[in-house]
Homo-oligomer: A and B are copies of this chain.
Amino acid sequence: MNDPTNLHALMQQMGRDAVAAQRVLAVATTQQRNQALLAMATALRLHEAAVLGANARDMDAAKAAGLNAAGLDRLRLDAARLAGIARGIEDITALPDPVGTVIADWTRPNGLHFQRVRVPLGVIGIIYESRPNVTADAGALCLKSANASILRGGSDSQHSSTAIHRCLVEGLRAAGLPDACIQLVPTTDRAAVGDMLAGLAGSIDVIVPRGGKSLIARVQQEARVPVIGHLEGICHVYVDRAANLEMARSIVLNAKLRRTGVCGAAETLLVDAAAERTHLAPLVRDLLDAGCEVRGDAAARAVDSRVVAATEEDWHTEYLDAIIAVKLVDGVDGAIEHIARYGSDHTESIVTDNAGAAERFLARVDSAIVLHNASTQFADGGEFGMGAEIGISTDRFHARGPVGVEQLTSYKYVVRGSGQVRP
């Protein structure tokens, strides 16, 4: 696959195959798509040894290449994780089918009857990194929403993804659906990503990138098709003067430390200057005592000698680690200003018993998810009751927040008349 002409031809063919498969998928029944999903889960269980064997090859290569512990953990599959992936696919079958749902229905005075009906987006290109479970999750979510998918995983996990993809294809076949409903790019050549970002000659309707900053930068530079973006989550918790202190302590600890590697983890704690004497010290000490590094402004440093000085860079940083930046702000408006300047439009929470302050924050903070008296770690499609998701969109366009099966659809207008012509 080192011949660039061959690779380009292969990618274009994958695009055409995806379009053809999607046309079949668009008229397949809910039952047929769910049957395929259940058969995929069965195949993953049946071929456990093959999938784990492929994963062992990836792990060996990654260790030899010196991948760090966190990276190896993301890459690693075992029987329990594989069972979780299979269960996740089964859970997707239980979600309501978005396709064909009537979103709106009205009749005009001339008797024309209008319906706005959900339809698939078409062909979705997903570009991701080392987690092999994305192969199954993304392929399954796209299938549920009657979209064809072209998956391009990370080179670290290519053996694992290939083995998982074989199980997905087995599921498609069991339901009589074309193999090309879910395709995996069979090469780790990075030129394939360029072809996908160019849209495969009009075959790809949308790209979903799931990865770090270098991937996002490449997508922003090269994409010629719509993108559902998943940028960083620089999430804030603002503790207002009217916050219940015990509630604030519980929310801050959970928002930062429940899991530090998720995009909904809090990265900055903003404390109302009017609550400096009452709230700042307990919040900062809780974090320190729980093993979190605290990088603070002068007020936070005055609380405890373990607090290190925050720099301008800290307010811009998504740590994804047990580190938090802490700052006093001038009330709810100070918090709103700070978030507008440094936030990434992902998820922010206010803790307060003052309803007016809460409503001001919820209305004026321009993020995909704004919370009152709750942890930012609820930023998750499952917690929203949407079932599985393909990520959290920080875009304003098409889909914002958790991207579940509903967000992977478009709509069309179906208009029924009795001979109406336009005057």
Contact = CB atoms under 8 A, between A and B. Distances in A.
Nearest to A264: B422
A422 B366 contact: no
B114 A421 contact: no
A35 B373 CA distance: 36
A23 interface: yes
A114 B422 contact: no
Nearest to A355: B416
Main secondary structure of the interface of A (DSSP, over half): mixed
Given A244-B419, A383-B108, A422-B375, A412 B364 contact: no
B370 A112 contact: no
Contacts of A416: 358, 362, 371-374
A362 B258 CA distance: 49
Contacts of A374: 112, 415-417, 419-421
Interface in A224-243: 224, 226-227
**Copies of this protein, total:** 2
Contacts of A377: 421-422
Given A205-B397, A369-B413, A396-B121, A378 B112 contact: yes
Interface in A357-412: 358, 362-364, 366-375, 377-378, 380, 383-385, 395-398, 400-401, 410-412
Contacts of A385: 106, 108, 114
A412 B417 contact: no
A65 to B, nearest CB: 34
Given A369-B415, A378-B112, A421 B119 contact: no
Contact of A419 (B26, B251, B364, B411): B251
A13 interface: no
A414 B362 contact: yes
A173 to B, nearest CB: 24
Contacts of A119: 366, 396
A104 to B, nearest CB: 10
A120 to B, nearest CB: 8
Contacts of A395: 226
Nearest to A372: B416
A340 interface: yes
Nearest to A122: B396
Contacts of A411: 400
A412 B367 contact: yes
Given A244-B419, A251-B419, A396-B122, A401 B383 contact: no
A419 to B, nearest CB: 4
Given A112-B383, A206-B397, A400-B412, 10 more contacts: A112-B378, A114-B385, A206-B396, A220-B224, A244-B419, A251-B421, A254-B422, A258-B421, A372-B416, A374-B419
